[in-house]
Amino acid sequence: MKTPRRSRASAFVAINGDALREARKERGLSIGELATRVGVTKAYVSKLELGYSPRCSVTVHASLVQALRPNRTDAFRTDKAVA
């Protein structure tokens, strides 16, 4: 019996680049420092912040949350309603 494939849409998270940039700056991190902590390139972090890459993998989102420790685990997601 085949295992059903997961939807590719669920493997990605829509990112709010402005919120990501604000959190990074509040923690006093450069783009390079955040990229190193997350395990991605500086260019990729920059693209996320500027909206050129409006979504990232669930794994990268989890790494961003771990690195920046926002008050909410969905802080950078645009697909969640902000309370």
- Can you give the pLDDT at residue 11? 86
Residue linked to tokens 């996320």:
48
Q: Where are the domains of the chain?
A: 11-68
Q: What gap in Å lies between CA 39 and CA 36, rounded to an integer?
A: 5
Residue linked to tokens 């420790």:
69
CA 53 to chain centre: 10
CA 52 to chain centre: 13
- Can you give the pLDDT at residue 81? 44
- Can you give the pLDDT at residue 83? 41
Crossing angle of the two packed helices 58-68 and 31-38, in degrees rounded to 10: 120
CATH number of 11-68: 1.10.260.40
Q: Is 77 in a helix, a strand, or coil?
A: strand
Enter the pTM of the model: 0.79
Q: What is the mean pLDDT of each run of 10 residues along the chain (83 residues)?
A: 56 92 95 98 97 93 93 76 43
- Can you give the pLDDT at residue 82? 43
